[in-house]
Structure 1
Amino acid sequence: MPLSSKGVQGVKDVLNGFVNDGAPGLVFSAVDKAGNTLVEYAAGTVGVESKEEMNKDNTVFWIASCTKLVTAIAALQLVEQGKISLDDAEFVKKITPEIKEKKVYADGVTPADQEKDVTVRMLLSHTAGFAYGFIDPRIPQDGSIEGRGGDKNDILNGRLVNQPGSMWEYGTNLDWAGIIVERVSGQTLGGYFAEHIFAPLGISADGASMFPSQNNLAHMHQRGPDGQLKEREHLFNGPFSVTSKDQQNAFFQSGGAGLYAKPKEYVKILGAILNDGTSPTTGKQILKETVDLMWENQIPDQYVTTSLI
């Protein structure tokens, strides 16, 4: 059901408030399960040092962990086809033998054997035992995001810090799920997304991609010691140096954080999930029965969880 004009203006007022309070700019898009655009709005500029205005049709953002939803959809598609098992640990051992060899560093120092075997369900629900080095001090690294430079070894060499199936912790689990999608499908992750998710939903090639054009890219910022926002080098800039198809195929395409997208294109994915896995605009179905799993709690009540902070 469309929003009233008063409701739309109320949303825009809130968004303008963020810009007035110091955010350089933003693009907002909201749809419903029928494919109706409820609100689509842009305010501010692409960077604090730029005069280029945010554009609801053209501005591209690094969507970081919003990539994880797309990777989960890809994995669930292959579950529906019988090519991936959610709960068969032997399947994970076969497809990603690197995981079965890993030790668990619960204290950050002492290696221990895995008490349970990792499953795809654990990977999709962040309960497999992997973490992010920029969050968890038990992982020795330089503070950068794993996989940003296109080296798959950032993920393959990553350690377990929790016993599989014992607790929830945000981490590289969906990167591993993306690797499984690649190995099962025989496609790069970005290629799989484009063919099996983006094309059926009517998402354009420049609307969501692992290798974006920099022409319409929103700038990256961080706060300085004085609390003020300043522009900085893009945090996930490895894809910017990729210029050929061969380089794309060799570059690690991160299932956890690799996508760039326009908000108005990304919400087409959300609209399909809201509509039981079928695009309300193209009529194409990207998920069938497994879409229901996306609305169910996959974390047992007794699990310990860790904060993102």
Structure 2
Amino acid sequence: MTGLRDILERHVSGGSLPGAVALVARGDEVEVAVVGSADTEGSAPMVRDSLFRVASITKIVTAVAVMMLVEDGRFALIDPVAPWLPELASPVVVRTPSSPVDDVVPAEHAITVADLLTFRAGWGFPSDFSLPAVGLLFSELKQGPPNPQLIAAPDEWMATLAKIPLLHQPGEAWLYHTCSDVLGVLIARVAGCSLPEFLAERIFEPLGMADTGFAVPHGSRGRFTGCYRTGPQGGPELIDAPDGQWSGVPAFPSGAGGLVSSLDDLYAFTRMLLDGGGPLLSADSVQRMTTDWLTPAQRAGAELFLEGQGWGFGGSVDVAPVDPWNVPGRYGWVGGTGTAAHVTPSTGAVSILLTQLELSSPTPPALMREFWTYAAS
């Protein structure tokens, strides 16, 4: 019978990626596989506590932080965000998604915390990246694959965002990515400290996530893997080395994709969600996070990213068994650097996959799908 290690070894031995680390937990039974090397040179073997850029798995952590502030009574889900993000007090919307960026109308209602959590505030990536208002997210905000040292500090970033029109009216459509970066700024302003400080004090320290943060200390870089993309000859091509962009805390700590973490740190985090939120959140908050908030039309409009899935707070929610790995209620997300983390409350399962190979498109690659099918079996 094919095991978890067999799945990873097949892809690593084929030369498509240097190494991988994975975990599948079914109840209290935990299976871990560690395969390959931390880099293409084979200078260091992959180890269980290797460090990875987890990219968009960061979005789930950011959503947890927002829900902690809700439970603290700092704001409610229905509250407008303008008191803390005054740059967003009077947003405008392009008349149609394909309209020029100067053909705008006023937003019909204020942007709320819930709009940001459900990715329906009006900024973000649709299926068509060529739309004029979307182009500004790349050229002005540097949205896209994580490049932490290239992004402006939060106040400057927010001032730039405020000049970019919404693609849709708030609440109307699901758009990927940008809302989590806005939430990161919201958390910092409401809490009165930086996003790294808040996450460290309120999430990482209570859960024992000692290897998770926005930068890798010098003493830990021996465990930090290289980050690669598929090169023109089909093999891995280095994007970022261990002494690269994660060597220091960036000016803009991205709530959408900036974290580095390890297998066991992510397991502690996902177990918290699976076990009902303690000690960080109430079971009610976790239930809200893992509920699909999208309409059928919104799910259909997000097909490039969601493939029919729904969206909770910070992560997708499987709504129908359309694939062997698609279990209704499964919640989690993938990172563009080749990572994935999910929990399935109905079966008590956790699945975590960490690789070093950047995804070439929003469509999950074969390894990820094989891993998910195995985790669901």
TM-score between both structures, scaled by the size of structure 1: 0.82
Question: Which one of 207, 230, 237 corresponds to residue 223 of structure 1?
Answer: 230
Match status 1:28 vs 2:34: no
SS at match of 1:112: strand
Contact kept, 8 Å, 2:143 with 2:178, in 1: the verdict is no
Where do residues 286-301 of structure 1 align in structure 2 (5 Å cutoff)?
A: 286-288=280-282, 289-301=284-296
- Percent of residue pairs bearing the same amino acid type: 25
AA matched with 1:101: S
C-alpha spacing 1:239/1:229, structure 2 compared with 1 (3 Å): closer
For residues 161 and 200 of structure 1, the distance between their equivalents in structure 2, rounded to whole angstroms, comes to 39
RMSD of Structure 2 on Structure 1 (CA): 2.6
Which segment is superposed worse, 159-168 or 136-145? 136-145
Stretches of structure 2 that go unaligned for 5 or more consecutive residues are 306-361, 363-377
Tell me by how many angstroms 1:156 deviates: 4.3
Aligned equivalent of 1:203: 209
Separation (CA, whole Å) in 2 of partners of 1:215 and 1:86: 42
- Partner SS for 1:215: helix
Task: Check the 8 A contact 1:45/1:51 in 2, yes or no.
Answer: yes
AA in 2 matched with 1:276: G
- Could you tell me whether the CA contact under 8 Å between 2:4 and 2:33 is conserved in 1? no
1:82 maps to 73
Q: 1:135 to 1:286 in 2, by over 3 A?
A: farther
**Where does residue 245 of structure 1 map in the other structure?**
none
Map of 2:261 onto structure 1: 261
Task: Return the alpha-carbon distance in structure 1 between the equivalents of residues 223 and 37 of structure 2.
Answer: 11
Letter in 1 for 2:186: I
How far off its partner does 1:51 sit? 2.6
Give 2:229's aligned amino acid.
Q
In 2, the alpha carbon distance for the partners of 1:219 and 1:135 equals 31
In the other structure, the counterpart of 1:281 is: none
Is 1:101 aligned to 2:90, yes or no? yes
- 1:275 Cα deviation from its structure 2 partner: 0.2
1:190 CA displacement: 1.2
Structure 2 counterparts to residues 57-206 of structure 1, below 5 A: 57=49, 59-89=50-80, 92-105=81-94, 106-107=97-98, 109=100, 110-132=103-125, 136-137=129-130, 138-140=134-136, 141-142=138-139, 145=144, 148=148, 149-151=150-152, 152=154, 153-158=156-161, 159=164, 160-204=166-210
Q: Cα 1:108–1:225, aligned 2, differ >3 Å: closer, same or farther?
A: farther
Task: Pick closer, same or farther for the CA change 1:188–1:134 going to 2, 3 Å.
Answer: farther
Q: Cα offset for 1:70?
A: 0.6
TM-score where L is the length of structure 2: 0.68
Q: Tell me which moved more, 24-33 or 179-188.
A: 24-33
Offset at residue 71 of structure 1 (A): 0.5
Query: How far apart are the structure 1 equivalents of 2:244 and 2:104?
Result: 33
Q: For 2:168 and 2:12, locate their aligned partners in 1 and report how far apart those are by CA, in whole Å.
A: 40
Partner amino acid, structure 2, of 1:30 = V
The question of whether the paired residues in 2 share the 8 Å contact of 1:147 and 1:155 is answered with no
3-state SS of paired residue (2:93): coil
Residue identity opposite 2:160 in structure 1: N
Offset at residue 114 of structure 1 (A) = 1.2
Contact between 1:150 and 1:252, CA under 8 Å: does it hold in 2? Answer: yes
Query: 1:179: Cα distance to partner?
Result: 1.0
SS of the aligned residue for 1:49 comes to coil
Q: 1:133 to 1:253 in 2, by over 3 A?
A: farther
Give the CA deviation at 1:235.
Answer: 11
1:49 matched to 2:45? The reply is: no
- Aligned CA distance change for structure 1 residues 274 and 223 (closer, same or farther; 3 Å): same
1:132 Cα deviation after fit: 4.5
Q: Does residue 12 of structure 2 align to residue 19 of structure 1? A: yes
Partner of 2:275: 275
Distance, in Å, in 1 between the alignment partners of 2:117 and 2:243 is 22
CA contact (8 A) 1:178 1:254 kept: yes
Bigger CA drift: 103-112 or 161-170?
Answer: 103-112
Shift of 1:108: 5.3
Letter in 1 for 2:301: T
Q: Which structure shows the higher strand fraction?
A: 2
Structure 2 CA distance for partners of 1:139 and 1:104, relative to 1, 3 Å: farther
